[in-house]
Structures are given as structure tokens and as C-alpha cells.
Amino acid sequence: MRAREPLPVTMTGVRMGERVLQIGITDASLTGVLAAKPGLSGHAAIVVATDDLANRARRACEDAGVLVDIQVTPLDAFTQDPQPFDAVIIHAGDAGVAALSIGSRTEMLTRCWHALRTGGRAVIIESLPKSGLAGLLGRSVPTSSAHWMEEARAAGFHLARLLGEGEGFRFVEGLKGAHSSGQPVRP
């Protein structure tokens, strides 16, 4: 019997042969599994803000048996790959992502929009605040999918929507549509 994939992997919809970019790292094992999904026929890349996070991502990808390109740079200023990606996955629980101002988050999302092929998707994975005793003892930052959807639309994504919640996560998706100018649509 085959084990079920973690919900975040299923919700991103990453498939064999795709080009996938991850922004930030929250759960190293999840990062490794997502980087492995495109397989040898695809491409995986990760952008993180610090060398320590790059080392975590590198170890996770080694554990998953996958090669990955890792870029250490401010998350709102990463370099565009010359070939477009099929999917961008943003780990909203990453300290660097969480620390971005609204303007910087919109700039990061705009860079994601430019990094995607037409028809590509951005999936934002948020960790939901813990409830009960775990919530009282742990530190959790409340998140808002509405803010992510508004910022995704401001960056040019259409059909920015809440995909769902489950297993302690919330998933927001934005799709890159074709615009006549080829630039994000500003409200």
C-alpha cells in the first residue's frame, strides 16, 4: 500500500517534469519532498534569505535525494531564471517572508509573477495558529489569507483564491493569466 502524500504536497499540485521554485523554508522535510516532485525531467529551485536557511534546504534536498538550485538573497529581490517556472510555492511561515512589509511582499509576488509561465500558479502555504494547549505554549503568528489574495492580485495574479485549509495549513493560490501588456495589472 502506498503512503499518502502530505497535504501541502497534494495542494501544490506539483507534477513530474515541472519547473518549481520555492520561496523560503518552514519545514525542511516538506521542502525536500516538494523539490523531489519534478524528478529528473523537471527542475527545482529555492530562494532563501540566509546562509543558514540555505544549508537547511540543502540538507533536506540531499535527504530527499534531489539536486536543487539554491539562491541566497533578499526574498523581494531574487534573480529571475531565464526559463519560466510552472509553479512557485511560497512558505509563508518562513521568518523572512513573515518579516516582509506589505510593499516588499507585493514586490516578492510581482517577481514570482514574472518568474512564472503564462498559466503558471503560485501557491502560498500558511501555517494555521495552533489551538488549545499547543497554542498557549507555542508562538504562532496569526495569518490572513485575505491579505495574501489582495497582494497576489496587486502583483498581477488573477483568480487569487483560498484553496482550502487542513492539517494545520491554509493554502492560497494565484494564477498567471495572459495580459496584453505582459505586465502585472495594478489596481
Task: Supply the CATH number for residue 100's domain.
Answer: 3.40.50.150
In this structure, is residue 7 part of a structural domain? no
pLDDT value at position 168? Answer: 92
Percentage of the chain exceeding pLDDT 70: 86
pLDDT value at position 140? Answer: 46
pLDDT band at 141 (very low <50, low <70, confident <90, very high): very low
In this structure, is residue 182 part of a structural domain? no
In this structure, is residue 60 part of a structural domain? yes
In this structure, is residue 119 part of a structural domain? yes
In this structure, is residue 101 part of a structural domain? yes
In this structure, is residue 100 part of a structural domain? yes
If one counts the domains in the chain, the total is: 1
In this structure, is residue 15 part of a structural domain? no
pLDDT value at position 29? Answer: 93
Over range 110-133, report the average pLDDT: 89
Query: Of 47, 151, 46, which is closest to residue 105 (Cα–Cα)?
Result: 151
In this structure, is residue 74 part of a structural domain? yes
What residues make up the domain containing 112?
20-175
Residue 11 reports pLDDT greater than 80: yes
- Nearest-angstrom CA–CA distance, 142 and 78: 26
- Nearest-angstrom CA–CA distance, 155 and 149: 10
Over range 106-112, report the average pLDDT: 96
pLDDT value at position 179? Answer: 62
| Cα diameter, the chain | 52
Residue 3 reports pLDDT greater than 90: no
The mean pLDDT of the chain is 88
Over range 84-112, report the average pLDDT: 95
- Higher pLDDT among residues 139 and 64, named by residue: 64
Over range 180-185, report the average pLDDT: 48
Residue 85 reports pLDDT greater than 90: yes
SS in 3 state form for the chain? CCCCCCHHHHHHCCCCCCEEEEECCCCHHHHHHHHHCCCCCCEEEEEECCHHHHHHHHHHHHHCCCCCEEEECCCCCCCCCCCCEEEEEEECCCHHHHCCCHHHHHHHHHHHHHHEEEEEEEEEEEECCCCHHHHHHCCCCCCCHHHHHHHHHHCCCEEEEEEEEECCEEEEEEECCCCCCCCCCCC
pLDDT band at 80 (very low <50, low <70, confident <90, very high): confident
List phi, psi (to 5°) of 174: -130, 140
